[in-house]
Structure 1
Amino acid sequence: MFVGSLGVLFRHQLPALLTELANRARVQSITASSAIEGVVVPDVRRAAEVIDGRAGVLRTRSEKELAGYRKTLDYLFQEDWHPLNLGLLLHLHRLLWSETEYGGGQLKTDDNLVVDRSPDGTQTVRFRPVPASETPDCLVNLIDRYDAAQRAGRHHPVLLVGLAVLDLLVIHPFADGNGRVARALTNALLIDAGYEVCRWVSLEQLIAESADGYYDALLASTNDWHEDSADPWPWLKYFVTVLSSAYETFAQRAASDRSGGTKQERVRKYVLEHAAPVFRLADIRSALPGISDQTIRLVLDQLKAEGLVTPDGVGRGAVWRRSPDASQLRR
């Protein structure tokens, strides 16, 4: 797994790539973390305007919440957010809701439940967070224990970040917005511990793509949390797997950028040798940042003419299928 020192290395060798990856990861993190909570702006172009601050008047609740998460994430990535304390958590929550009429920046005043809602309307309690009356003390205790554990250096910093996030989610300190605050803070704590990959690969996007695993791991590790007998390892295994996947994605994109050849040659090589048998244009775009959709479509048309790929569908839902023997070919 790459660590912070390699981030410094790539800043010198591939600065343009890192800038492109950072811009893309920012957009993905804002949209994915919001989508996990059902906050979606269907118009992709409009969502991009909201994220870039070019939208003007925000029209819907979802647009306002998207803009709020942008402020939260940007604060942690661009500002010196230290120290980690209760005031920081309240400030992040205030930023999250700053574009809405909702009163952010306050801890919950009533006990809450985390529930699953089935299509027939029934609800199942996933876990019971810390009571509202105990929340301030639990948060201060969590922060103090985390800081002490990081300074002691007896445990791997990634595990400590994972455990801190798990406890924060179980405390569930706010009436709404807990997941988004926790995911934004995860990025900052990882960067602080020397694991900077979330600057260039969106952890929130990876979580959204594995949402069932995310919720299953949380459920498995929150059982009996109040009795101090919960098993943190299902969550930690998931957390480490997501982080490892982010580094693998980063390595793949960096290797692709350094592999040389024209942009068309790089697209061709990726499609024939690395893409899944069934893939979308968006998969190529994600794997090869900095290459335009026009170039990707041009190469796909060429491969189609050679009988190496076949389109299935049109528009955003279209997929491409690689012929069985295409992966054996070379440029």
Structure 2
Amino acid sequence: MKSFTPLERSLGAVPGTLVGQLRRIDTGRGREELYANQLPELLTALAARARVQSITASSALEGVLVPDSARAAKIIDGSARGLRNRSEQEFAGYRAALDYLFAEDWRPLNLGLVLHLHRLLFSETPGKGGTLKTSDNLVVDRNEDGSRNIRFTPVPAAYTEQYLDDLLNGYLEARSADAHHPVLLIGLLILDLLTIHPFDDGNGRVARVLTNALLAEAGYGIGRYVSLEQLIAESSGDYYAKLLESTHGWHENEHDVWPWLEYFVSLLTDAYRRFEQGAASDRSTGSKQDRVREFVLDHAPEFFAIGDVRAALPGVSDQTIRLVLDALRKEGHIRSGGTGRGARWHRLGGT
């Protein structure tokens, strides 16, 4: 809300360094469209990897961990029987929210959608998913001695719904006016959403999953093929520092949005760079057997089935997959467990 009223005060002149990065992002979007038309199998493989990384990394940022990689893989593919604890429940919830936005026609963007995303995040968890906070909250840092430092004070609970509604409407009006780069507008919306902090829990996860959806809607589908959540986890220090820097003076409408936007734009620039690297790497792989070998050794979970390889590498036959698995078994890289359709493989590590 605050960053969109007035928008010209927030954005004004875009720093030159960001102009160059935005151009590179737009160039990357063009290449993304080219690959989608000419190499759909490649993008399917990249998407399968990114989905796993996104669910794992976004959950880990909130301290939600499923240490057993085989168990995590089953939760992600939906084959887990029962969810054993709250971490597994919330892990499954992020999968549900991410898949909803990537697989469904989720429009329009409104308060109901944001509440539904939150409901999905906690769909497997006892509690009140899909409801705004009912009491005021603080965002704090906990020190090793047990003391706390207030990072920032979000919007009071009594005003949360109005602020959130105004924010979404402000974003939609700005997008309709088409006066500013959509990546900057999405960055502003995420900044304000995190500062409003509308939920007791799950604010960061709602913001991250919504980032993927809004970028895709604007034509930047990079979040499908490179995990933005993983990139945030790798740069979490900058993520929190730049977010904090841009919240100073927010309530008085005197905040500086550029520290956060510089981080956000750099994140997407890095994502498109990695997209190009990943695409080039996969395209350069000589044979289908080489592609299977690379996936199993470098990208597959510790425990996996033939179906996992098939999903990541469309167009590669089960016969080819089995030939490579047999060779890797003989080389000592993997070990088989069981037989038939339900057989799973254990990657022993080390190529």
Q: Is the aligned partner of 1:224 residue 2:249?
A: yes
Give the alignment's TM-score, normalised by structure 2.
0.76
Q: Report the alpha carbon displacement of residue 283 of structure 1 after superposing the two structures with TM.
A: 8.6
**2 CA distance for matches of 1:134 and 1:253?**
45
More divergent stretch after superposition (252-261 vs 96-105): 252-261
Consecutive unaligned residues in structure 1, runs of 5 or more: 271-280, 302-314, 321-331
2:97 to 57, 69, 72: 72
Contact 1:150 1:157 in 2 (8 A): yes
Contact 1:256 1:266 in 2 (8 A): no
Q: Report the alpha carbon displacement of residue 19 of structure 1 after superposing the two structures with TM.
A: 0.7
2:43 to 6, 9, 18: 18
1:175 is matched with which residue?
A: 200
Q: Report the alpha carbon displacement of residue 194 of structure 1 after superposing the two structures with TM.
A: 0.9
2:180 is matched with which residue?
A: 155
Q: Report the alpha carbon displacement of residue 5 of structure 1 after superposing the two structures with TM.
A: 4.0
Contact 2:115 2:130 in 1 (8 A): yes
2:86 is matched with which residue?
A: 61
**2 CA distance for matches of 1:297 and 1:13?**
34
2:140 is matched with which residue?
A: 115
- Give the secondary-structure state (helix, strand or coil) at the position aligned to 1:125: strand
The one-letter code matched in structure 2 to 1:177 is G
2:263 is matched with which residue?
A: 238
Q: Encode CA deviations 1:52-97: one digit per residue, 9 max, x unaligned.
A: 1111110011000011111111111100110000000110000100
Q: Report the alpha carbon displacement of residue 4 of structure 1 after superposing the two structures with TM.
A: 4.1
- Give the secondary-structure state (helix, strand or coil) at the position aligned to 1:198: helix
- Give the secondary-structure state (helix, strand or coil) at the position aligned to 2:140: strand
- Superposed CA RMSD in Å reads 2.8
Give the alignment's TM-score, normalised by structure 1.
0.80
Larger relative contact order (CA 8 Å, sep ≥ 6): 2
2:161 is matched with which residue?
A: 136
Q: Is the aligned partner of 1:7 residue 2:20?
A: no
- Give the secondary-structure state (helix, strand or coil) at the position aligned to 1:227: coil
**2 CA distance for matches of 1:60 and 1:81?**
29
**1 CA distance for matches of 2:329 and 2:276?**
24
Q: Report the alpha carbon displacement of residue 261 of structure 1 after superposing the two structures with TM.
A: 3.4
**2 CA distance for matches of 1:105 and 1:162?**
23
Contact 1:27 1:51 in 2 (8 A): yes
2:305 is matched with which residue?
A: none
Q: Is the aligned partner of 1:45 residue 2:64?
A: no
- The 5-angstrom pairing of residues 79-94 of structure 1 reads 79-94=104-119
The one-letter code matched in structure 2 to 1:30 is I
Q: Report the alpha carbon displacement of residue 263 of structure 1 after superposing the two structures with TM.
A: 7.6
1:209 is matched with which residue?
A: 234
**2 CA distance for matches of 1:263 and 1:52?**
24
- Give the secondary-structure state (helix, strand or coil) at the position aligned to 1:143: helix
**2 CA distance for matches of 1:77 and 1:190?**
11
Consecutive unaligned residues in structure 2, runs of 5 or more: 1-24, 302-311, 334-347
**2 CA distance for matches of 1:219 and 1:296?**
48
- Give the secondary-structure state (helix, strand or coil) at the position aligned to 2:129: coil
The one-letter code matched in structure 1 to 2:212 is N
